[in-house]
Amino acid sequence: MDLTGKVVVVTGAARGQGAAEVSALRAAGATVVATDVLPFDGRHLDVTSAEEWAALAASLGEEHGEVHALVNNAGVAARERLPDVSLDAWQQTFDINVTGPMLGIQALVPLMPPGSSIVNICSVAAVSGHAAAAYTASKWALRGLTRSAALELGSTRGIRVNAVMPGLVDTPLMETAPDAFFDAALAEIPLGRVGRPADIAPTVVFLCSDDSSYYNGAELVVDGGLTAHVSHKRIADATRRR
């Protein structure tokens, strides 16, 4: 998977999966533009801001001329459960997890030649029901956006759009999860371990490469077998407040 000569934009790149994706993409030869709203050695980008996306696109156009891949990795893990979901948490989750990728697509597609790739980092929460209502709904929405974009951009521009569905991965987002969630989920993973960011990154590199040139609208689950047997009810039961 040689990405030499390709310019790749990664959101949410300051830590966790995003940082691992940046490292793997650079190791494959890509010029990676790492972005995040958090302070780090990269470009600042609030994915919910159309103005900041427009400024990034203008800068990339001047600096590189083209963008060959966009990895929509930025996301938040909203854990509120029904019926106790606040409107603010619901809106923020959708702003970051769904509107952010949509704005990124709108801003960068004009810079992307045929054969370019968009990778949306989704979740196994989008292949079944999950107790975290806003998070689950947002990832289902991102899954739908991926399919719609694959249809539209594949037909009109030759741009591929695919989704990666990680399972339980040890990232800073997991720090807010209760121990009961972690323990219940781990017990349901056939491989018997939690995923690492480095387990997800190679799939992202593949989807950004020309080796995946016929992948479009695909949903690649990377979860150690968690969703092979549909386990979310046990996890929900284990973490429900008594």
Q: Kindly give, in sequence order, each residue whose CB lies less than 8 Å from that of residue 114, ignoring residues fewer than 6 positions away.
A: 157, 158, 159
97, 138 contact by CB (below 8 A): yes
The residues carrying an active-site annotation are 135
Residue-by-residue DSSP string for 206-229: HHHSGGGTT--S-EEEESTTGGGS
- Measured between alpha carbons, how far is 162 from 168 in angstroms, rounded to an integer? 20
Q: Using CA atoms, how far apart are residues 174 and 176, in angstroms rounded to an integer?
A: 5
CA–CA separation, 32 vs 28, rounded Å? 10
d(CA 37, CA 237): 34
Alpha carbons 89 and 205: distance in angstroms, whole number: 32
